[in-house]
Structure 1
Amino acid sequence: MGYEYIALLMFSSMMLLLLTGKRVFGAIGFVAVCAAFLLWGQGGSEMAFSAAMKLMKWYPLLTLPLFVFMGYMLSESGLAEDLYRMFHVWMGPLPGGLALGTIGLMVAISAMNGLSVAGMAIGASIALPELLRRGYNKIMVTGVIQAGSSLGILIPPSVVLVLYGMIARQPVSQLWLAGVFPGLLMATLFALYVVIRCWRNPSLGPAMPMVERQTISRREKLLLLKAGIAPLFIFFCMTGLFLLGYTSLVESSAVGALAATFTALVKGRLTREVMENTLRKSLGITCMFMWIILAALCFGAVFDGLGAVQAIEMLFLDRLSLSPWEVLILMQLSFIVMGMFLDDTAMLVIVAPLYIPLVGSLGFDLIWYGILYTITCQIAYITPPFGYNLFLMRAMAPPEVSLRDIYISVFPFVLVMILALALVMIFPQIALWLPQSYYGAATG
């Protein structure tokens, strides 16, 4: 059996195990270790140990638990609730204003935690019940929260872009800057969709009643603006110091975690229960990341040993005679398919050994491709039937929101994301202008 067929057998076996409901890291690691042992005997069986040692020496991985801790500290301490109250009061008088405020909340949360899970938890627990209570269309607002929470993996400090930077050997600072305009573009397109829908049918997002508006004084509205100071403080302490060159990537994640904890302490929210819940959830998510990366490193080592990258390149370019753009589009489509039953981290570490060298050999910019990959992950996250965010929403949503409602709600936002993806593909400078301008000026 040729090596290309062995690689195909490994990949299909892994997918089959995943479809049976096995743990992601278990399926990936099992296939990798078995293939290594069968191909190279006793020496191959040590690949898993080598992958574990490589992971333990991977210093930048220290950013993961710190970014995760920061996100959960914001959620558990109630700082996100303050933000939502501010958006509620200031945008509530507009038709669909609370939905627009929810998108604003998601952008702010994304700029502080870098994960979609934290955004989904905050949106589903804080925003969704309030939106439903005020008569907003449940399908529209469910889609808003699912799509808005996905911004966490694109807007800096994105944990996914940190992982991509480690694996692709690309500077994380440039990836973070490259994600700013595409993330804001996507949030703007979400907001435009809500505005157009509510303009055509105001009953989908009724404005705040006049009686309630009159009970909120101008002084109270101005005081609520203070809720925006904490996110700006945390964002500057973390991302600002990193981009200015005062801290390294790992140091910036530590600064962000400390800033979030300090903010909770100053506001009197840092209780023992908050700290305990934050630590427990952070540990659970971090361990999940570590196990997946460990298994995927072993899987990637076997794939690399088989020469799978060269085999795929020959298949696409020589046998099928595809153009570089056709190959790129096929890779993006494969991410969407995998995203139906894998999370973004698993997708990245499984296919990175295959796709990243291929993208480079095709002549594409790896910073730009990192943004394309991340946007495609966002699409995959909310694409039925097994999109990751769909089931998170089902677990957190009130009983009146059915799984059918959740499935229907995402389709307009999937189309908006595809539009954003197409714009970034057609106009690469949407992603590349900011990092090129910033680092060009810094080195000029």
Structure 2
Amino acid sequence: MSDPVLGMVMLGSFIFVILLGFPVAFTLMAMGLGFGYLSMHERVFDLLVQRTYAVMANDVLISVPLFIFMGYVIERANILDRLFRSLQLASGGLPGSLAIATLATCALFATATGIVGAVVTLMGLLAFPAMLRAGYDTRIAAGVTCAGGCLGILIPPSIMLILYGATAGESVVRLYAAAFVPGIGLALLYMLYVLGLAVMRPATAPRLPPEERRVPFGAVLLALATSFMPLAALIMAVLGAILLGLATPSEAAAMGALGAVLLAALYRALSFEKLKESVFLTARTTAMVCWLFVGAYIFTSVFGYLGGHHVIEQIFVEQLNLSPVTFLILTQIIIFLLGWPLEWSEIVLIFVPIFLPLLPTFGIDPVFFGVLVALNLQTSFLTPPVAMAAYYLKGVAPPEVRLSQIFAGTLPFVGIVILSMALLYVFPELATWLPAYLYDHAPGVAGENVLEIPEGGFRVDDEMPSLPPLN
């Protein structure tokens, strides 16, 4: 069996095994080592050491545990209920005000945490019952909660964009700048949809009773000043430091983690037990991410060594003879379909690198491609059968709420995501304008060490950082 055929057998075997439910990270390593041993024999173990060291020495990944820690501390500081209440008071006069307040809370809280499961679960406990009590249609309330909770994948500081930047060898700062406008735009499209639905079909999203809307203006300002403004200031400080080039993502993440601890202390919600839980959850999540990176790099290294990338390139370039537009559409359809059985981390670390070497051939900016992928991955949490946001919500929803109702509620928001991707195809400046404006005339501002994947994938004899001597 030739090496390219062996590479395609390796890819097909991996998809089959993970669909059986085996752990992804260790399946990647096992597949990489097993198929690598068939082609390069003992040298595959040198590859294992090299790629593991390369992941652990990657400066970009330092920001991952810091942003995760920031999110867990904020989650446990009981800020969400204050934030939702203040935004509910501020939007009380609008049609569908509870749904709009939920989406605004999700957008802000997802920006602060980036942890989809935490946001959906907390909003499922807080906002979802409030909407049901107010007479909202169950499907609308479920769709708003699930779609809003997934915004953290796209809106900076997104963990997904950090992983994509490290995988693609692109500046995380430029990715954040590119994703900022599409992320806020997607949240606004969600709100416009809810507002239009509430106007055309008031029974599905009724207004609040008059007595709940008659709140003194001073009380609204006080609620915003004590809940919305502190969290917004923390987020703007972190994002502003990154986008303006005042700090690298790792430095800004450290500042955000410290700010989250101080904010929790200010709200008198900081305790040793909560801090210990945040550290434990951060360590567990970071370990999962790092093992996924190690497994993905070993897998893609062996896949590239076997010539699997060249087979993919021949299919897309020579046999299908695709134009850049059709290549983009086809890759996004593949990623969309992969989102049904797989989670976003598996797609970004395993399948997206297969397409990255083809981007120069079609003249596609990797930063623009990364924003498209981030938009597309919103659907991986919303489309069955593995719609994790729906399962998170079902776990905390009242027993009478059926999973089929939650799925039905998420489908219009999947359509909005597809619409936003179409808008980005037609108007790519939505993603490219801000990074070009901020950084194209200031070389070096957006730079940070990244681990690049060479065209055609890793090879076992690629130059790697030397291992530190053993004492």
Q: Taking structure 1 as the reference length, what is the TM-score of the superposition? A: 0.95
Alignment-derived partner of residue 219 in structure 1 = 218
Alignment-derived partner of residue 175 in structure 2 = 175
Q: Which residue identity is paired with 1:305?
A: Y
Q: In terms of mean alpha carbon deviation, does 173-182 or 50-59 score higher?
A: 50-59
Alignment-derived partner of residue 423 in structure 2 = 423
Alignment-derived partner of residue 384 in structure 2 = 384
Deviations 1:320-348 (A, max 9, x none): 22223222222111111221222212111
Contact 1:304 1:353 in 2 (8 A): no
Secondary structure at the counterpart of residue 203 of structure 1: coil
Q: CA separation in 1, counterparts of 2:250 and 2:263?
A: 20
Q: In terms of mean alpha carbon deviation, does 41-50 or 223-232 score higher?
A: 41-50
Q: CA separation in 2, counterparts of 1:117 and 1:161?
A: 17
Alignment-derived partner of residue 291 in structure 1 = 291
Alignment-derived partner of residue 278 in structure 1 = 278
Contact 1:67 1:257 in 2 (8 A): yes
In the TM superposition, 1:12-411 aligns within 5 A as 12-214=12-214, 216-226=215-225, 227-411=227-411
Q: CA separation in 2, counterparts of 1:110 and 1:248?
A: 21
More helix by share: 1
Contact 2:157 2:239 in 1 (8 A): yes
Identity across matched positions, percent: 31
Q: CA separation in 2, counterparts of 1:442 and 1:327?
A: 32
Please state how far the C-alpha of 1:442 moved relative to its aligned partner. Answer: 4.3
Q: CA separation in 2, counterparts of 1:399 and 1:117?
A: 19
Please state how far the C-alpha of 1:417 moved relative to its aligned partner. Answer: 0.5
Alignment-derived partner of residue 413 in structure 1 = 413
Q: CA separation in 1, counterparts of 2:208 and 2:9?
A: 58
Structure 1's unaligned 5+ residue stretches are: none
Contact 1:342 1:388 in 2 (8 A): no
Q: Which residue identity is paired with 1:361?
A: T
Moved over 3 A (4+): 440-444
Q: Which residue identity is paired with 2:108?
A: A
Please state how far the C-alpha of 1:317 moved relative to its aligned partner. Answer: 1.4
Alignment-derived partner of residue 469 in structure 2 = none
Contact 2:173 2:248 in 1 (8 A): no
| Alpha-carbon distance change, 224 to 186 in structure 1, aligned in 2, over 3 angstroms | same
Please state how far the C-alpha of 1:441 moved relative to its aligned partner. Answer: 5.3
Q: CA separation in 2, counterparts of 1:24 and 1:399?
A: 32
Q: CA separation in 2, counterparts of 1:201 and 1:209?
A: 17
Contact 1:328 1:359 in 2 (8 A): no
Q: CA separation in 2, counterparts of 1:441 and 1:319?
A: 40
Q: Which residue identity is paired with 1:432?
A: T
| Alpha-carbon distance change, 86 to 357 in structure 1, aligned in 2, over 3 angstroms | same
Q: In terms of mean alpha carbon deviation, does 102-111 or 391-400 score higher?
A: 391-400
Structure 2's unaligned 5+ residue stretches are: 446-471
| Alpha-carbon distance change, 144 to 59 in structure 1, aligned in 2, over 3 angstroms | same
Deviations 1:71-103 (A, max 9, x none): 111111111221101111121332210100111
Please state how far the C-alpha of 1:432 moved relative to its aligned partner. Answer: 0.7
Q: Which residue identity is paired with 2:385?
A: P
Contact 1:94 1:208 in 2 (8 A): no
Q: CA separation in 1, counterparts of 2:233 and 2:34?
A: 49
Q: Taking structure 2 as the reference length, what is the TM-score of the superposition? A: 0.90
Question: How many aligned residue pairs are there?
Answer: 443
Contact 1:18 1:341 in 2 (8 A): no
Q: In terms of mean alpha carbon deviation, does 110-119 or 93-102 score higher?
A: 110-119
Q: CA separation in 1, counterparts of 2:35 and 2:45?
A: 9
Secondary structure at the counterpart of residue 135 of structure 1: coil
Alignment-derived partner of residue 10 in structure 1 = 10
Deviations 1:176-219 (A, max 9, x none): 011111112111111111112111221211211112333x3332
Contact 2:178 2:431 in 1 (8 A): yes
Q: CA separation in 1, counterparts of 2:71 and 2:181?
A: 22
Q: CA separation in 1, counterparts of 2:271 and 2:98?
A: 30
Please state how far the C-alpha of 1:140 moved relative to its aligned partner. Answer: 0.7
Deviations 1:225-280 (A, max 9, x none): 11121122211331112223222221111001111110111121112232122222
Please state how far the C-alpha of 1:376 moved relative to its aligned partner. Answer: 1.0
Please state how far the C-alpha of 1:25 moved relative to its aligned partner. Answer: 1.3
Secondary structure at the counterpart of residue 207 of structure 1: coil
Q: CA separation in 1, counterparts of 2:396 and 2:290?
A: 25
Q: CA separation in 1, counterparts of 2:54 and 2:173?
A: 23
Higher relative contact order, chain-length normalized (CA < 8 Å, sep 6+):
2
Please state how far the C-alpha of 1:112 moved relative to its aligned partner. Answer: 1.7
Alignment-derived partner of residue 463 in structure 2 = none
Q: CA separation in 1, counterparts of 2:47 and 2:125?
A: 43
Q: CA separation in 1, counterparts of 2:277 and 2:127?
A: 21
Q: Which residue identity is paired with 1:354?
A: I
Contact 1:340 1:388 in 2 (8 A): no
Q: In terms of mean alpha carbon deviation, does 150-159 or 227-236 score higher?
A: 227-236
Q: RMSD between aligned alpha carbons?
A: 1.7
